[in-house]
Structure 1
Amino acid sequence: MISLPIKRVSPVHDGQQIPLALTTSELPSFSNFVVGLNDEVVMALRNFARAEADSLIFLYGQAGTGVSHLLQASSHLAAELGKKSLYLSLAEPGLNSKILKDLDFIDHLYLDDVQSIAGDENWEEDLFHLFNQFRDGNKCLLIAAKQLPEQLSVTLPDLKSRLSGMVRYHLKKLTDKEKSVAIIIKAQALGLKLSSEVSNFILTRGPRDLRELMQCIHKLDQASMISKRAITIPFVKQTLDW
């Protein structure tokens, strides 16, 4: 389902309209995720949010495939259903492993970018105890990384064993046709009007990584709002320096 754009009101600063960073329709959700060949994964994460499936899941996928998007979408759904839900990226600068010791009040926990803490003794030890806590308490724990558990540089054998024993899902990359759909969805969420010619140009000339591609759309949106110009191919070339 394609989410409908909502009207945005931007504050005025130094005579220019400054775009708001995020709108409701841009928040990660299942409705604005392009599924591609990932129907099984999406269904699993929907059911996980409803506590109707496996309670210990390991999701892996390369950068730009939408792993973080899906984790946050599932977390939002769990919260809407009245669950105490938390999404946490372990790649966030300044995080301390002690944060994992105070999460006993959480029903659904989503830990992203676990590869970022692999090899750190304190993180691995605290994650191991957290895993046991959620497993023994029949709570829902979803761990995500860019690689399979066996490929992570985890040095604590018991933790590697726990991760390897989780139900696992692989998030596959989108095809170019599916990326084109993702561009359209993002543009509509921002209230942008993109012709098929401009959309195809962005897809052809833009980065292959989907996350970077979406950042290009955001940059075009901001530049268009400030300059009050329509998004044409010359405008794209000028704004993105292509």
Structure 2
Amino acid sequence: MAKQIAFTFDPRPALGGDDFLVAPSNAAAVQWVDRWPDWPGPVVVIVAPMGAGKTHLAHVFQAQTGAHMVGVDDLVQHRADGVLKNATALILENAEAFLAQGLDEELLHLYNLAKEDGVKILMTAERPPARWGTALKDLSSRLKTAPVAEIEAPDDALLTALIVKQFADRQLSVEQDVLTYMLARMDRSFAAVRTLIQAIDERALAQKRAITIPLVRQVFEAE
């Protein structure tokens, strides 16, 4: 790793050996995770576009709290009472999917029971609750009172830190000129970083070459 590349991001351990890097774009969401269980209500909603890191942060929350991941099938099969059993906290990813499956009533029941039991629910979504479109007024009014923390698109500094870290995880080094070249051409999301680093690593390994601008250019041209 080039010695002149230095960052001050706070790494947060998550599942799979990855680190979640705290930056201005995600600091508000991280603060709500850290405040658990001192939330004003039973639900906090993290809103971010696909690939911006909301799933990663949900895993950080799970690691810190022991929260149960609840999917649509879980709520259908076990209902609100079942998923709350022995739970300290819950995570509902892609919360709009529960409404798309007609689980409005069960979601309201889950909200009410969680409030009674003191269980907190972290929800993630691509849009804020006010835009989820449930026809159930009681559920809509409750969700609209939930704190919403938005994760913004990562800036250059955060993307660079992610790139450097993921190369380092693969025991690879990268120079500043390569980073600058990548940043000017890549999609600006966490998911894009993972995909790009994997493709570069595979090509460098196949060609037995160092990671240089010409090699990275080949990866972009192959997309």
- TM (norm. structure 1) is 0.74
Count of residue pairs the alignment pairs up: 207
Partner of 1:205, secondary structure, is coil
Aligned match of 2:110: 130
Q: Which runs of 4+ in 1 moved over 6 A?
A: none
Q: In the alignment, does 2:3 pair up with 1:25?
A: no
Q: Is residue 210 from structure 1 mapped to residue 198 from structure 2 by the alignment?
A: no
Gaps of 5+ in 1: 4-22, 80-84
Moved more, 224-233 or 66-75: 224-233
Task: Return closer, same or farther for 1:106/1:96 CA change in 2, 3 Å cut-off.
Answer: closer
8 Å contact kept, 1:25–1:189: no
State whether residues 100 and 127 of structure 1, in contact with CA within 8 Å, keep that contact through their aligned partners in structure 2.
no
CA-CA distance at 1:24 after TM superposition: 4.4
- Once the two structures are superposed, residues 4-57 of structure 1 have per-residue CA deviations (whole angstroms, 9 ceiling, x without a partner) of xxxxxxxxxxxxxxxxxxx9432xx4xx32422432321221222xx2444421
Report what 1:35 is aligned to: 23
Q: Does 1:65 align with 2:52?
A: yes
Aligned to 1:87: 69
Query: Taking structure 1 as reference, are residues 160 and 53 closer, same or farther at Cα in structure 2, changes over 3 Å only?
Result: closer
CA distance in structure 1 between the partners assigned to 2:127 and 2:105 by the alignment:
20
Q: Work out the CA distance in 2 between the residues paired with 1:220 and 1:56.
A: 40
Read off the aligned partner of 2:17 and give its amino acid letter: S
1:145 aligns with 2:125: yes
- Residue 182 (structure 1) aligns with: 162
Please list the CA deviations of residues 147-201 of structure 1 after superposition, one character each: whole Å capped at 9, or x if unmatched: 1111113222222122112122222222223222221222223322111111111
Once the two structures are superposed, what CA deviation does each residue of 1:122-147 show, in whole Å capped at 9, x if it has no partner? x2222221112211110111111111
**Which of these residues, 110, 135, 154, is aligned with residue 155 of structure 1?**
135
Q: Structure 2 vs 1, CA of residues 128 and 100 (structure 1 numbering), >3 Å: closer, same or farther?
A: farther
Q: Which runs of 5+ in 2 are unaligned?
A: 1-8
Which position in structure 2 is the counterpart of 1:98?
76
Q: Higher helix proportion, which one? A: 2
Moved more, 127-136 or 217-226: 217-226
Aligned counterparts of 2:138 and 2:161: Cα–Cα separation in 1: 42
Contact 1:72 1:87 in 2 (8 A): no
- Aligned-residue Cα RMSD (Å) equals 2.5
TM-score, with structure 2 as normaliser: 0.80
Which secondary structure does the structure 2 equivalent of 1:64 belong to? Answer: coil
In structure 2, what is the Cα distance between the partners aligned to 1:176 and 1:224?
24
Distance of 1:128 and 1:115 partners within structure 2: 13
Q: Does 2:61 match 1:74?
A: yes
Query: Identity of paired residues, percent?
Result: 20
1:13 maps to none
The structure 1 residue matched to 2:91, chosen from 110, 121, 125, is 110
Query: CA 1:174–1:100 in structure 2 vs 1: closer, same or farther (change >3 Å)?
Result: farther
Of 208, 211, 216, 1:231 maps to 211
**SS at the partner of 2:68?**
strand
